[in-house]
Amino acid sequence: MTIETAVVPPRSPRRFNIDWADILFRISVPILAMLAALLVGAVMLLLLDVNPFVAYAALLEGAFGSVSSITQSLVKATPLLLVGLGICIAFRASVINIGGEGQIILGALMATWFSLQFRTWPGWLLLPATIIMSFMAGAAWGFIPGILKARLRVNEILTTIMMNFIALQLMNLLLRGPLMDPESVSAGTFLAKSERLPEQVWLARLIPQTLLHTGMIFAVVLAVVVFIFLWRTTIGYRIRAVGLNPHAARYAGIKVPFYQALSLTLAGGFAGLAGSVEVIGVHHRLLEGITSGYGFSGIVAALFGGLHPLGTIPASYLFGSLLVGADKMQRAVQVPSALVDTIMGLVVLFVVGSAVLTRQWSARRLAAAAKGQEVK
Amino acid sequence: MKNRLVIVFVLIALLAAACSGPAAPAQPAAPAQPAATQSVAAEKFRIAVVMPSAVTDMAFSQSMWSALKAVQTKMGGEAALELKYSEGMFKVPDAAAAIRDYASQGFDIVIAHGSQYGTSVQEIAPDFPDTTFAWGTDVNTFGLPNVYAYTAAAEEGGYVNGVLAALLTKSKKIGVTGPVEVGDAKTYIDGFVQGVAAVDPNINVSKTWTGSFSDVALMTEAAKTHIASGADALTGSSQSVVGSIGAAKDNGSVLWFGTQQDQASLAPNLVVASQQYDWRAMIEEMIKNHLSGKLGGDKFVLQLKNGGLQIIYNPGYSLPADVKKAGDTAIEGIKSGSITVNP
Amino acid sequence: MEEIFSTVVIVGILTSAIRLATPYLFASIGETFSQLSGVLNLGVDGIMLMGAFAAFFVVLNTDNLWLGVLAALIVGLLMGLLMSVISVTLKAEQGISGIGLYMFGLGLSSLLFKVTVGTVKTVEGFQPIKIPVLGDIPIIGEIFFNHNVMVYMAFLLVPLAWWVLEKTTWGLRIKAAGQNPAAADSLGVNVNRVRYMSVCLGAMLAGLAGASLSIALVNLFQENLTAGMGFIAVALVYFGGWKPKGILGGALLFSTVSAFQLWVQVLGVNIPSDVAVMLPYLLTIVALAFTMNRAQQPASLNVPFQRGES
């Protein structure tokens, strides 16, 4: 008996192994949970003297109502997806990566410094090189907690939280010093932003007059790559084995600490990519606040996607739409933005709490499938 | 198995019904079309502002909002001037969405009140040639005819505050609690240091930077550290500076010098003076220009000279006459150009 | 550089350190109870904010400081119940439910503040109380015995927590629930009830941590007052090896370096301010990497308990 059959439920006996009922159920539960949270939000709106129908109409319109809304959601979804992919990898190895914010910063810093440093290089060389370097920078920021965990057994929750704060100060140090835009200095304004990046490294805009850039396609392609990596390669298999049952993995000869450190490093790399994509695709320079909280909201996006790289694609888009719609709602009915944050928190709580329903559903199907299969 | 499928399909149907209901009355926004003024009262002027922090932050954002409200009152209230705001827009893509949204709703002037919004304004402004965009704090109008840039020469008020502080300190030690050494926090503090040095170069001015614009607890602790080291006058910048003022208040005799907004209400007998950013004249000029067809192209700088910066002495603090005179002399000197303050 | 070692400065640093450690002590020891019973609560920062607001609001309107403390405890309890329902009863993924709780607490505290108070106001918080006799000892007295009552409470919490965990049955049950819930269950311990109580206790202490900020240390409320302190408190639990003594060490290390870096800046030592601000975080990692404190985390941490599962 191999590890695979010991810890992984038997495959569903359907054509092409796609179980539609399963997928539908798994999608509808979080969506309904989200609606329940919005219902509570409606009560809060009423208490603030706001008509919830008007408010939520604005939210829907802001999320899906126009080309502008959809592109904004996609722009937001891109870094969510990238961070989320890293979170998926880490979670599969049972490692929690709360260091996304710091890793995004390192990726953004590297993208800025590298592309400005080598601004004479042609685009076909500079752009891929910048992206690769950003991945490495984020990966390095994930590697440090990883190696500390593997070698010295220092807990990664502690190190990743601390490294977030350290990265922030590092960015301050560089932005107000060597990376500050020379124009800002000469104009006497000393603003916390870098010089504009060379044009050949900018990601192409897909739709004119919007912020939508090729990074989105890149992220989706990477999601497929991560899926293949986790389910079709030996390394990916070992990462998942470590996450499902570290003891069994160790008995099978898999070096658990190594793969945990590796998953944390990869997660950092993906967050670093998110940072670079924001810099070269959206802003075309490094600004304070570049992370926009994606280090945390990427975790939520991955959760909504069932911690599966392919699931994270629609999840990031939906979550991004929710955020965009919520901003529109704030503008339309002039409620404090804090109300939007509160409702977001409720959405996460409801969705994560509703997973109990999906689990019971899975357990029942597992029992049914086991009964249905004659010989194993 | 079939039961489960049925339940799932029912749920989906309910979901679809729920989604289609509220969506019907929503009008999709059309971003590419130039602003067509909404069919409201014809003369009503409409201004929208997007800001990075809370509208009640006792600092940067609040200064703009209170100026807008004051102009609104002067013009005759809601009927004459419609105001809308988006606060807490620290994330640039969100702010960009808000700016574009307001422009497409036909607002006459859209104010992007944050130095990080520059790229957004540069990209959005060309799509709305009939809308005025105002952006600060920065000096770049991108060569666009419908963009204003504005900034505040915070170092001027800093200088005056420095003069006052230098004359009032008995321990000859002054503390500065700063957030991050960038932008108008930096220029204000640099001006302050010059003002102190002009009165007495031997006074010790020590600076701390908390590395954050919002960490109030650390700002409080920084202020307490200054006080413990002997400082009897403090100044600083950003919305987290309420912590420093609180620490001064706790101590009971440490003086405070404010910037961006009149902060006297926070410590009525310890705040000596505040540099108030007064955007009113700038807003009124922009409105006037817009109505006569000029949509942008100028750079505004708030200065003491043009009334954009004002030193507000706190009436609750009894300022000795000779100190006030020195302060006023400094103000006049900066206005006339005899004193130059470097940002 | 010699200045930094003068008496005034050292006394200043240590006095600040004692004061700064207070919110970390409350929140970290609270989280220790929660984690020892098997529940990871990353929402501590959100609970601290709610507690801070509740205490501030009550004090602003009633001038009664102890009523404010009570308000923080009640609010903490409510947040704790919410977390328990989601993490223990519904067995949700604890790391993520914690983040959801954080977002909720951050949003709700800001919203309530906006709607009920609006602008920043200061309150008259707990004043320093000098302990007779002890407070008069030169130097030592100034550093340790001249603080407000919440500081004293936080430090007294350390031996109290140790005693509860090591010397009472209740403490034993908590640890059993986190280390081997199946065995505990077979011995008659209601694992989920123990977890509920631990999470709620942790949340109430987090509420107290928030109150210590808004009505004792900083004496005001502003949106996101804690600025991530709650996460540091969670990190310190790992540093302290789930023991109150270790937590005390971690909190003091962190707060001492924080106070130190501020003094370094005040004295004008030639270090970039950003590097100074980084120091507490860097040194915490270094300290943990180099100490031999290798406590194993509770075996059942972050694993929901289901009766009948092995």
Contact state of B86 with A327 under an 8 Å Cβ cutoff: yes
The verdict on C269 touching B (C-beta cutoff 8 Å) is no
Substitution target in A70, A288, A322 with the highest count of B β-carbons within 10 Å is A288
Name the residue in chain C with its Cα closest to that of B181.
Answer: C273
From chain B, the residues in CB contact with A57 under 8 A are: 22-23, 25-26
CB-based contacts of C225, cutoff 8 Å, min separation 6: B216, B217, C49, C52, C210, C213, C214, C218
Contact state of A154 with C281 under an 8 Å Cβ cutoff: no
Mean pLDDT of C86-114: 91
Residue C133 is part of a domain; what is its CATH number?
A: 1.10.3470
Q: How far does the CA of residue C175 sit from the closest CA of chain B (Å)?
A: 34
- pLDDT for C282: 92
Each of the 376 residues of chain A gets a pLDDT tens digit; together they read 344 334 445 555 545 566 777 778 877 888 888 889 989 999 999 988 889 899 999 989 888 888 888 888 999 999 999 999 999 999 899 888 889 999 999 999 999 999 999 989 998 999 999 999 999 999 999 999 999 988 888 888 889 999 999 999 999 999 888 888 888 888 777 888 888 888 888 888 887 777 788 889 999 999 999 999 999 999 999 999 998 888 888 888 888 899 999 999 999 999 999 999 999 988 888 988 888 889 988 988 888 888 899 999 999 998 899 888 888 888 888 888 788 889 889 988 998 888 888 778 778 877 887 777 644 4
**pTM score, two decimals?**
0.87
Range of the structural domain that residue C206 is part of? 14-294
Using one digit for the tens of pLDDT, what is the confidence trace for B161-189? 999 999 999 999 999 999 988 888 899 99
Backbone φ and ψ of B34, nearest 5°: -65, 160
The verdict on C264 touching B (C-beta cutoff 8 Å) is no
Substitution target in B55, B186, B216, B249 with the highest count of C β-carbons within 10 Å is B216
Which member of B58, B207, B246 has the closest CB to residue C119? B58
- pLDDT for A373: 61
- Strand B309-313 to strand B271-277: parallel, antiparallel, or no bridges (unpaired)? antiparallel
The Cβ-side half-sphere exposure at B222, using a 13 Å CA radius, reads 36
Mean pLDDT of B67-95: 87
In A100-139, the residues whose Cβ lies within 8 Å of chain C are none
Number of domains in chain C: 1
pLDDT at residue B11 tops 80:
no
- pLDDT for B33: 35
- pLDDT for B68: 93
Which member of A157, A336, A349 has the closest CB to residue C100? A349
- Distance (Å, whole) CA B186 – CA C74: 43
Q: How far does the CA of residue B126 sit from the closest CA of chain C (Å)?
A: 36
Q: Give the closest residue to A267 by CA, choosing from A103, A109, A134.
A: A103
CB-based contacts of B210, cutoff 8 Å, min separation 6: B177, B178, B179, B180, B218, B219, B222, B240, C277
From chain B, the residues in CB contact with C19 under 8 A are: 221
Residue pair C50/C182 in contact by the 8 Å Cβ criterion? no
Q: How far does the CA of residue B343 sit from the closest CA of chain A (Å)?
A: 6
Confidence of residue C1 (pLDDT cuts 50, 70, 90): very low
ipTM of the complex, rounded to two decimals: 0.88
Contact state of B250 with C267 under an 8 Å Cβ cutoff: no
What is the CATH number that goes with domain B154-276+310-336?
3.40.50.2300
CB-based contacts of A347, cutoff 8 Å, min separation 6: A33, A34, A37, A38, A322, C100
Contact state of C102 with A345 under an 8 Å Cβ cutoff: yes
Reading the block at residue A363, the tokens are: 């357990």
pLDDT at residue B69 tops 90:
yes
Confirm whether C142 is domain-assigned: yes
Beta bridge partners of B235: B176, B257
- pLDDT for B17: 39
pLDDT at residue B78 tops 90:
no
pLDDT at residue C108 tops 80:
yes
Name the residue in chain B with its Cα closest to that of A24.
Answer: B8
Which member of C114, C121, C273 has the closest CB to residue B209? C273
Using one digit for the tens of pLDDT, what is the confidence trace for B281-323? 899 999 999 989 888 888 898 888 888 888 989 988 888 999 9
The verdict on B40 touching A (C-beta cutoff 8 Å) is no
The verdict on B183 touching A (C-beta cutoff 8 Å) is yes
Confidence of residue B28 (pLDDT cuts 50, 70, 90): very low
Name the residue in chain C with its Cα closest to that of A148.
Answer: C289
3-state secondary structure of B275: strand
Residue pair A104/A79 in contact by the 8 Å Cβ criterion? yes
Say if domain B42-153+279-302 classifies as CATH 3.40.50.2300.
Answer: yes
Q: How far does the CA of residue B114 sit from the closest CA of chain C (Å)?
A: 19
List the Cα angle B199/B203/B206 in 5-degree steps. 125
Mean pLDDT of B129-155: 89
A111, amino acid identity: A
Let me know if the fold of B42-153+279-302 is the same as that of B154-276+310-336.
yes
What are the extents of the domains in chain A? 2-6+20-375
Contact state of B92 with A327 under an 8 Å Cβ cutoff: no
Reading the block at residue A306, the tokens are: 């069932």
Specify the DSSP element, H or E, that contains B272. strand B271-277
Contact state of B93 with A282 under an 8 Å Cβ cutoff: yes
Contact state of C266 with B229 under an 8 Å Cβ cutoff: yes
- Strand B147-152 to strand B132-136: parallel, antiparallel, or no bridges (unpaired)? parallel
Which member of A158, A173, A341 has the closest CB to residue C238? A158
pLDDT at residue B22 tops 80:
no
Contact state of A187 with B139 under an 8 Å Cβ cutoff: yes
Substitution target in B177, B204, B218 with the highest count of C β-carbons within 10 Å is B218
Mean pLDDT of B241-269: 88
The secondary structure of A53-113 as a DSSP string is HHHHHHHHHHHHSSHHHHHHHHHHHHHHHHHHHHHHHHHHTT-----HHHHHHHHHHHHHH
Confidence of residue B40 (pLDDT cuts 50, 70, 90): very low
Contact state of B90 with A53 under an 8 Å Cβ cutoff: no
- pLDDT for B59: 80
Q: How far does the CA of residue A279 sit from the closest CA of chain B (Å)?
A: 11
* Range with lowest mean pLDDT among A332-341, C49-58, C235-244: A332-341
Substitution target in B8, B89, B100 with the highest count of A β-carbons within 10 Å is B8
From chain C, the residues in CB contact with A152 under 8 A are: 289
From chain C, the residues in CB contact with A344 under 8 A are: 103, 107
Using one digit for the tens of pLDDT, what is the confidence trace for B183-215? 888 999 999 999 999 999 999 999 999 988 888
> Quick one: how many helices (H) and strands (E) in chain A?
15, 0
Count A/B contacts: CB-CB distance under 8 Å: 155
**Max avg pLDDT among A252-266, C1-15, C70-84:** C70-84
Contact state of B246 with C225 under an 8 Å Cβ cutoff: no
- pLDDT for A18: 66
Q: How far does the CA of residue C218 sit from the closest CA of chain A (Å)?
A: 22
pLDDT at residue C2 tops 70:
no
- pLDDT for A170: 94
- Distance (Å, whole) CA B56 – CA B51: 11
pLDDT at residue B25 tops 50:
no
Name the residue in chain A with its Cα closest to that of C234.
Answer: A158
From chain C, the residues in CB contact with A343 under 8 A are: 107
From chain C, the residues in CB contact with A336 under 8 A are: 110-111, 114-115
* Range with lowest mean pLDDT among B26-30, C104-108, C218-222, C244-248: B26-30
Fold for A2-6+20-375, please state it: ABC transporter involved in vitamin B12 uptake, BtuC (1.10.3470)
The owner of tokens 């499938």 is: A369
Q: Return the number of other C-beta atoms located less than 10 Å from residue B216's C-beta.
A: 29
Name the residue in chain C with its Cα closest to that of B210.
Answer: C277
- Distance (Å, whole) CA C259 – CA C11: 11
- pLDDT for C294: 66
Q: How far does the CA of residue C47 sit from the closest CA of chain A (Å)?
A: 13
Q: Give the closest residue to A342 by CA, choosing from A45, A29, A55.
A: A45
Backbone φ and ψ of A367, nearest 5°: -60, -45
Q: In what order do the strands lie in the sheet with B204-209?
A: B204-209, B173-178, B233-236, B255-260, B271-277, B309-313
Reading the block at residue B244, the tokens are: 């420093």
The verdict on B180 touching A (C-beta cutoff 8 Å) is yes
In the 8-state DSSP scheme, what is residue B267? S
Which chains form contacts with chain C, at 3 or more CB pairs under 8 Å? A, B
